[in-house]
Amino acid sequence: MDNKKSNTLRGLLLGAGFIAVAAFIFTGCPSQQSMFDSGDAAQKVYVAPGEHDEYYGFFSGGYSGQLSVWGLPSARFLKVIPVFSQDPETGYGYSEETKPLLMTSYGFIPWDDSHHPHISQTNGDADGRWIYINANNTPRIARIDLQTFETKEILELPNTGGNHASSFVTSNSEYVIGATRFSIPYEMDLDVPIDSYSEEFRGALSFIALDPETGMMEMDFQILVPPYNYDLGRAGKGPSSDWVFFTTYNTEEAHTLLEVNASRNDKDYVAAVNWKRAAELVRNGAGETMSAEYYHNYYEGNQGIAINDVKDQVTVLTPQDGQNFIYFLPTPKSPHGVDIDPTGEYIVAGGKLATVIPVHSFSRMIEAIENQRFEGHVENIPILDYDATIIGEVENPGLGPLHTEFDGRGYAYTSVYISSEIVKWSLETFEVVDRIDAYYSIGHLMITGGDTKNPDARYLVGLTKTAKDRYLPTGPKQNHPAQLYDISGDRMQLLLDFPTIGEPHYAQAIRADIVTPNVKQIYEMEDNDHPYALRRVADNRVERDGDVVRIYMSSTRSHFRPDNIEGIRVGDTVYIHLTNLEQEWDVVHGIAVKGANNSEILVAPGQTKSIKWEPTRTGIYPFYCTAFCSALHQEMQGYIRVSAADSDVPLTWSTGGN
């Protein structure tokens, strides 16, 4: 080391030491907070073993069809809730109880693409009772109960192609919305040439009424709209809470090569719908009844086998002159997201091809409607004057702005796909104040407590589409990432970057203390209303009715009753109805039978679940508990003897020689 360098170094060392000591002397012991401010991201996401996270994060599974549950800020993975796809781990979609949930007018569908989870709301705040999520491909909406974290209900949307603008709820969970992404002929099963698009194809906006006590869904009405692509939606808040908003693209009405053909117009529309007015019109008979076929699948009691309630008609409202419930707001340019700020005043659209983020004003929109500032009509829907509704355009937002959420402190955060960043901008000046990289290609973002009147806005999660080099490589296809940012200060700070399941398309997070007091630890045996439940241990039995054999079986640590069964014959259809007689939190039993061509089932304490088994070969079939339940778990097993179809082995069952 030459002298000059070493002197400089010595000087710097002294300087650094002096500054450090001086800083300490002048400021005293650093508080916990100032340690954080110095950039210790690890501290901010550290939740000690045995302690709990402050938020539940619900991340859609995208093409996994499921919903994953995370603790935030630690990003502890808590659970996958199976929703639209079969799950052999739990038996969801394989068990007799859950198979009917996946029935549609197109038959049994084992998969879908789940995009937008949305938590039920009361007075514009998330109430943590239920979470709704859409199926994009075969249009459906599911309701998940946040007492048990289980899918309880699935409703199919009739005459809809691609239910993407879903499943957003209104401020008091009056409605959950759905919409056609791919316009199709509205009339059921209509067989027409594709190039009759403009004449025969239509969009449908769906308004599904929610029962305030049970959260149950009912298709109330659909609004028939021009054949555009209805992409995303959100409900208004506060002054705008009677309204919902949908983005459209493809106002060009292209039906081929949309990449080019649907990107020609300078502006498409945000559709603003006064749902309260529309519902009144429907109540007063303005709608017409049209034939449709769609499934409504749900449980009738606490437990039991889900039922298929098949509907054959739907109420349709076609906008007429003077009905004043739907308007188009011209918006540049193939807008994707439409997001409403916590005050309900700002309607922010993400024009994925636009160079600005356009912000409409709700109060200006109302004024423009009153003053009839229309630049035209399409199919009886007034098109409002752009200058009359727009209140700001955020300049320099990056390339490809998509979705916006809000912190309730006057700032908006927009995800920007092509330039892969998040921009923070002011709702007062409409100027960008901060920006931070996303890894990589961000789609949705979400703020803790977001899309409500009162976001907590401690953290922001960016949901990104490719991981590339972020983690240890796992081959050509890698899991999608999410990034956690601290947004409590002036500048956004990246805290954590973690892989998720499926495609975490959108997510919501809610303060855990709203949810946890209602989470059930067991199913009370006294309330088990399953038709094949065992309510008395002594009732365990096997019954034959023709070729159908039902085994009423119970489990407790560490045995099944019965565990020796004879008299089953090849050609029988055997149902094993397993009731878990445990009443202790998280003591789960499962059952798997050799050669069964479906899955195991896991049965929670106090629950009854059933699996169908059709033995095709004679022999002795072992079965066992799949859940590691106790020290004697390995002893938890049994045998079923299967005899030839014409055998006369009597039907017998036993446990422990009695």
Q: Return residues touching other proteins (CB under 8 A).
A: 8-9, 12-13, 16-17, 19-21, 24, 29-30, 522, 524-526, 535-538, 554, 556-559, 561, 581-584, 587, 606, 630-632, 656
Q: How far is the CB of 148 from other proteins (least distance, A)?
A: 16
User: What is the smallest separation between the CB atom of 518 and other proteins, expressed in angstroms?
Assistant: 17
Q: How far is CA 535 from the centre of its chain?
A: 35
Which one, 180 or 554, has the nearer CB to other proteins?
554
Q: Give the nearest distance from C-beta 637 to other proteins in angstroms.
A: 15
Report the residue number, 17 or 376, with the smaller CB distance to other proteins: 17
Helices (H), ranges, 135-274:
197-200, 258-261
Least distance in Å: CB of 589 to other proteins? 12
* Residue 75 or 581 having the CB closest to other proteins: 581
**Exposed / middle / buried, residue 171 (Cβ in 10 Å: 0-12, 13-18, 19+):** buried
Q: 31: helix, coil or strand?
A: coil
Return the number of the residue (495 or 587) whose C-beta is nearest other proteins: 587
The residue among 17 and 110 lying less far from other proteins, judged by its C-beta, is: 17
In the complex, the smallest distance separating the C-beta of residue 581 from other proteins, rounded to whole angstroms, is: 5
Minimum gap (Å) between residue 653 Cβ and other proteins: 15
Q: Which residues pair with 394 in a beta bridge?
A: 357
Q: From the CB of 23, what's the least distance to other proteins, in Å?
A: 8
End-to-end CA distance of the chain: 89
One-letter amino acid of 87 = D
Nearer to other proteins by C-beta: 211 or 527? 527
Shortest reach from residue 8's CB to other proteins, in Å: 8
- Kindly state the smallest distance separating residue 562's Cβ from other proteins, in Å: 12
CB of 520 to other proteins, least distance (A): 11
DSSP state of 528: -
Nearer to other proteins, 27 or 256 (CB): 27
CA distance 51 to 73: 12
Is 402 within 8 Å of 352 (Cβ atoms)? yes
Return the number of the residue (16 or 620) whose C-beta is nearest other proteins. 16
Tokens standing for 288? 């017409």
CA angle 262, 263, 264 (to 5 degrees): 100
β-sheet with 401-406: strand ranges across? 401-406, 411-416, 421-426, 432-437
Query: Is-contact 542 616, C-beta < 8 A?
Result: no
What's the min distance (Å) between Cβ of 592 and other proteins? 21
Q: Write the CA distances from 66 to 74, 79, 208, integer angstroms.
A: 21, 10, 21
d(CA 105, CA 86): 18
Q: Pairing state of beta strands 637-643 and 564-569?
A: parallel
Under a CB-based contact definition with an 8 Å cutoff, are residues 341 and 124 in contact?
A: no
What does each C-alpha distance from 238 to 123, 340, 596, 602 come to in angstroms?
9, 10, 54, 44
Contacts with 233 (C-beta within 8 Å, 6 or more apart), sequence order = 165, 166, 168, 177, 179, 244, 245, 246, 247, 338
Report d(CA 441, CA 41) in Å as an integer: 23
Q: What is the rounded distance in angstroms from the CA atom of residue 565 to the CA atom of residue 633?
A: 20
* Strand pairing report for 559-561 and 564-569: unpaired
Cβ-based nearer residue to other proteins, 13 or 644 = 13
* 168, amino acid identity: F
The token pair that represents 95 in the structure block: 């068990």
Report the residue number, 20 or 548, with the smaller CB distance to other proteins: 20
